[in-house]
Structure 1
Amino acid sequence: MVTTQRRGRRIMMTPQEIDAYLAEQRTCRVSTVDAEGRPHVSALWFAWDGDSLWLYSITRSKRWAQLRGDPRLAVVVDDGHEYGELRGVEFSGSAVFVGEAPRSGESCPELDTPERLFATKYFGVDTLPHDERHAWLRLTPETIASWDFRKMAAG
């Protein structure tokens, strides 16, 4: 796992904490840019396999179109209500399109793990139903930053 965090080492999550945190969280925010450099942020469900963040995106979305033009993106998964409860992970890198688009269920061994993780997490089943509207994006992060403000109270 790539971690480039310098500040906030005291509140940084360990790789094991990141894995556990991402397994329990359901929604991320994905930031893309258009051809003029204007940002666009949207919420999305995701799966984390320990190395890559898998995003199941509608292929007719603004996000999908922008990533086709410029694959760079940033993703944040965070939670907490009070300041001392804030936790999160920020990823940045480039999206890779994996499998057919839109996804109809054609055999793609690279998608076996993310589809199983996603189906279990969001639908409580082993096999992901395909709606022929979504397709997969993989973000293998170039940078990862994390924070867990609950650690400040502990130390």
Structure 2
Amino acid sequence: MDFDPAELLAKPLMAYLATDSPNGPRSSPVWFLWEEDAVWLIGNKEDSFPKRLRADPRCAVSVVDFDIGRGVLRHVGIRGRARILPLDQTRLHRLLVRYLGSDPQAWNTWFRTNVVDGLELMIRITPETTIVKDMSYFKTGPDFAE
């Protein structure tokens, strides 16, 4: 491994969930939480990606840390199978705090009402394979990598 993937997965970055559908592959940007050696996602019964995962639980999750100014380009790719689970309010809170801050009262009221309050399920993706790549030397070449 180029670096410890837990280091990148601890950051509040966007992940991309790749799934299959009868009409071909799909990609969904998602917030995530890395806990218990699994990727946790949130959703509701109307979201399209939980419907696709119910039909075919095979999926991939990609998380990229990219900062062109600093020359950072690190990637964690996870392939596994998803399980749709009931919403765990404690885990949901930990996930949302990563992106929205520690004080739920300060979260945008519209977002809480229209998105957070409608969440009904969690998705656990347990890695079968994990790819970890650090390409941070893309600007300077490998001899000058940090």
TM range (shorter): 0.7 to 0.9
In the alignment, does 2:47 pair up with 1:47? no
Shift of 1:30: 0.4
> 1:150 maps to which residue?
136
- Tell me, in whole angstroms, the C-alpha distance in 2 between the residues paired with 1:73 and 1:93: 6
Shift of 1:134: 4.0
> 2:118 maps to which residue?
132
In the alignment, does 2:92 pair up with 1:115? yes
Paired residue type of 1:80: F
Question: What whole-Å deviation, never above 9, does each CA across 1:60-102 have from its counterpart, x for those lacking one?
Answer: 12211111100110010003254x5211100011101111xxx
How many pairs are equivalent? Answer: 130
TM-score normalised by length of structure 1: 0.71
Superposition misfits of 4+ residues, deviation over 4 angstroms: none
- Tell me, in whole angstroms, the C-alpha distance in 1 between the residues paired with 2:83 and 2:99: 22
In the alignment, does 2:3 pair up with 1:13? yes
In the alignment, does 2:54 pair up with 1:77? no
- Aligned Cα RMSD in Å? 2.6
Change (3 A) 1:80 1:123: closer
How does 1:60-99 map onto structure 2 within 5 Å? 60-82=46-68, 85-99=72-86
**1:141 pairs with one of 127, 140, 143:** 127
Question: What whole-Å deviation, never above 9, does each CA across 1:38-69 have from its counterpart, x for those lacking one?
Answer: 10001010001150100112321221111110
> 2:19 maps to which residue?
32
Partner SS state of residue 142, structure 1: strand
Shift of 1:126: 7.5
Gaps of 5+ in 2: 105-111
- Tell me, in whole angstroms, the C-alpha distance in 1 between the residues paired with 2:84 and 2:103: 23
> What percent of counterpart residues are identical?
29
